[in-house]
Amino acid sequence: MALDAAQETAAAQETALPNTMPAYRLLSWQHPVERIEVPVPVPRGREVLLEVQAVGLCHSDLFVTSCEEGVLPYDLPLTLGHEVAGRVVAAGDLVDPALLGRDGVVHGVWSCGECHNCRRGQDNHCVALAGRVGCGLGRDGGLATYVLLPDARHFVPADGVPPALLAPLADAGLTAYHAIRTHRDALVGDCAVLVIGVGGLGHLAVQVLRATTSARVLAVDPRPEACALAERLGAHHTAMSVDEALSRLAASTAMSGVDVVLDFVGSDETMAQAMAALVPGGRAVVVGGARGSVLVGKGLELPLGWQVSAPFWGPREDLVAVVELAEKGLLDPEVEVVAFDDVPAAYQRLHDGGVTGRLVVVPDPSAPGLVR
């Protein structure tokens, strides 16, 4: 039987794939990743194989590597990297061959697609995950030449967004967007929102807020360069402390506090500041993973109608919306491109602090078209 063009392309691409590839894997707990050679996976059924074009580095990676054995339900060795942009180069026999050759981004929550949360579009809350979230977080991720997706539905095609800008959208962009989208009803009309932490996620949150809400945006970060970035991205007020930001808001408006706080740090200090900054009916949204806590309860000195939430990543449909914002030029990650060979040093920089925006690993930093 004659092969159509897509099948011929698939056969040619699979034939050209190497047998092994380099990958950065966590071999033992509380140790840095190591670069080793591993087999190139062969997709079957609904699986797709992506050639990795860019991978964002995240503080979640550092948390995984720092954990003691037994804290996370992950099996080692494990390839890290959960912000992945790439091109489909091979697919199982149950996948639409039209996906071959498409560029896109990976939705890292590898949900079951069948539980009640998945069926109602809340696949980021899939009840079958049991701690092994997906790409780079319990399953092998994208810090390798290729990454295998267990189902083609975890791939989101993207046109017109360079890979180094596309990769951070998988987590930093998606997480920020989801946190805002789920509280958009509080971000209408004359309102104010406080963004604590203008890092890899916070700087994208400022852009999403300006593009999708009418809120007056306050951005707080102790680093002057982060405040400058937030101002350039459209924040109405920037400051190096929450008190200073609220003072500037009060001086320019009649507002005594904010309607929503997006805390991208999540420490004891920032969570307490978030609750104190709210007006009646206000919402504290804790996104950051600094493992802080705050006491809430009826009868405490909290604003009337307070709410606290801790959103997790985001569903696939939100990633589609994030990609659309990027394609329209409304969402533009601040990235620093690093070479694949420099991953260990890049992780050390991330650990030491001071990185503004997102570090993104690419196979060849000198290649054209990585960023706009």
Q: Which fold has domain 5-171+314-362?
A: Quinone Oxidoreductase; Chain A, domain 1 (3.90.180)
Look at residue 1 and tell me whether its pLDDT is greater than 50. Answer: no
Pick from 159, 155, 234, 156: which is nearest to 193 by CA? 234
The whole-number pLDDT of residue 73 equals 93
Taking only the tens place, the pLDDT of each residue in 287-308 is 998 899 999 999 898 999 999 9
Per residue, what are the HEC states of 153-179? HHEEECCCCCHHHHHHHHCHHHHHHHH
Contact 46, 95 (CB under 8 A): yes
Look at residue 6 and tell me whether its pLDDT is greater than 80. Answer: no
The whole-number pLDDT of residue 28 equals 97
122: amino acid identity, one letter: Q
The whole-number pLDDT of residue 37 equals 98
Report the distance separating Cα 79 and Cα 306, nearest Å. 41
Instruction: Looking at 201-315, list the stretches that DSSP marks H as alpha helix, in order from N- to C-terminal side.
Output: 202-212, 224-232, 242-252, 268-277
- Any idea of the CA torsion for 177, 178, 182, 185, to the nearest 10 degrees? 10
The whole-number pLDDT of residue 15 equals 56
Taking only the tens place, the pLDDT of each residue in 322-370 is 999 999 999 999 999 999 999 999 999 999 987 888 999 999 888 777 8
Average pLDDT over residues 33-52: 97
The whole-number pLDDT of residue 14 equals 52
The whole-number pLDDT of residue 58 equals 93
Taking only the tens place, the pLDDT of each residue in 243-278 is 999 999 999 998 999 999 999 999 999 999 999 999
The whole-number pLDDT of residue 367 equals 78
Just give the CATH number of 175-309. Answer: 3.40.50.720
Look at residue 242 and tell me whether its pLDDT is greater than 70. Answer: yes
Domain ranges, ordered by start, for the chain: 5-171+314-362, 175-309
Look at residue 13 and tell me whether its pLDDT is greater than 80. Answer: no
The whole-number pLDDT of residue 3 equals 43
User: What is the model's pTM?
Assistant: 0.93
Would you call 209 helix, strand, or coil by DSSP? helix
Average pLDDT over residues 196-216: 97
The whole-number pLDDT of residue 365 equals 83
